[in-house]
Chains A and B, each alone.
Chain A
Amino acid sequence: MTADIFDKTHETMTRAQMRELQRERLIKIVNYAYKNVKFYKDKFDAVKLKPKDIKDLSDITKIPFTVKSDLRDNYPYGLSAVPINDIVRVHASSGTSGKPTVVLYTQKDIDMWSECMARLIAATGVTSKDICQISFGYGLFTGALGLHQGMERLGVAVVPASSGNTERQVMLLKDLQVTVLVATPSYGMYIGEMIEKLGYDLKDFKLRIGLFGSEASTPEMHRELEKRLGILSTDNYGLSEIIGPGVSGECYLKCGMHINEDHFYPEILNKDTLEPIENEYGELVLTTLTKEGMPVLRYRTKDLTKLNFTPCECGRTTARMEKLRGRTDDMLIIRGVNVFPSQIESVLMPIEEIGGQYEIIVTREGALDSLEVRCEVADVTLLDNYKRLENLKDKISKSLKVILQLDARVKLVEPMSLKRYEGKTKRVVDLRDLSKI
Chain B
Amino acid sequence: MLVNQIAVFLENRKGRMAALSDALSKEKINLIELFIADTTEFGIVRMITDDNPRALKVLKENGFTVTSNNLIGVEVADVPGGLASILSAFDENGIDIEYLYSFSRKEAGKAFILVKVADNDAALKALAKYNVKPLGKF
Cβ-defined partner of B39 (8 Å) among A381, A382, A386: A386
> In whole angstroms, how far apart are the Cα atoms of A47 and B14 in the complex?
61
Query: How would residues 389 to 427 of chain A score, 1 for a CB under 8 Å from any chain B CB and 0 otherwise?
Result: 100000000000000000000011111110000000000
Contact indicator A416/B116 (Cβ below 8 Å): no
A299 → chain B closest CB, angstroms? 43
Among B37, B42, B65, the one with the most A-chain Cβ atoms within 10 Å of its Cβ is B65
A198 → chain B closest CB, angstroms? 10
Contact indicator B44/A414 (Cβ below 8 Å): no
Interface assignment of B1: CB less than 8 Å from any CB of chain A: no
> In whole angstroms, how far apart are the Cα atoms of A1 and B69 in the complex?
45
Interface assignment of B111: CB less than 8 Å from any CB of chain A: no
> In whole angstroms, how far apart are the Cα atoms of A413 and B9 in the complex?
9
Interface assignment of B63: CB less than 8 Å from any CB of chain A: yes
Contact indicator B11/A414 (Cβ below 8 Å): yes
> In whole angstroms, how far apart are the Cα atoms of A197 and B61 in the complex?
8
> In whole angstroms, how far apart are the Cα atoms of A412 and B42 in the complex?
7
Interface assignment of B130: CB less than 8 Å from any CB of chain A: no
Interface assignment of A9: CB less than 8 Å from any CB of chain B: no
Interface assignment of B64: CB less than 8 Å from any CB of chain A: yes
A332 → chain B closest CB, angstroms? 23
Contact indicator A383/B67 (Cβ below 8 Å): yes
Interface assignment of B135: CB less than 8 Å from any CB of chain A: no
> In whole angstroms, how far apart are the Cα atoms of A411 and B39 in the complex?
13
Interface size, B (range): 20 to 34
Given contacts A389-B42, A414-B16, contact A383 B65 (CB under 8 A): yes
Interface size, A (range): 10 to 19
Among A411, A412, A414, the one with the most B-chain Cβ atoms within 10 Å of its Cβ is A414
Interface assignment of A216: CB less than 8 Å from any CB of chain B: no
Contact indicator B16/A381 (Cβ below 8 Å): no
Cβ-defined partner of B9 (8 Å) among A197, A377, A385, A411: A377
Interface assignment of B114: CB less than 8 Å from any CB of chain A: no
Q: Which residue of A lies closest to B118 (CB)?
A: A384
> In whole angstroms, how far apart are the Cα atoms of A411 and B8 in the complex?
17
> In whole angstroms, how far apart are the Cα atoms of A378 and B9 in the complex?
10
Cβ-defined partner of A415 (8 Å) among B37, B63, B67, B69: B63
Interface assignment of A16: CB less than 8 Å from any CB of chain B: no
Among B10, B16, B41, the one with the most A-chain Cβ atoms within 10 Å of its Cβ is B41
Interface assignment of A437: CB less than 8 Å from any CB of chain B: no
Interface residues of B (CB under 8 A from A): 7-11, 16, 37, 39, 41-42, 44, 63-67, 69, 98-99, 116
Interface residues of A (CB under 8 A from B): 197, 377-378, 380-386, 389, 411-417
Listed by A's residue number, 12 A-B pairs whose Cβ atoms lie within 8 Å are A197-B63, A380-B65, A383-B7, A386-B44, A389-B9, A389-B42, A389-B44, A412-B41, A412-B42, A414-B65, A416-B63, A417-B11
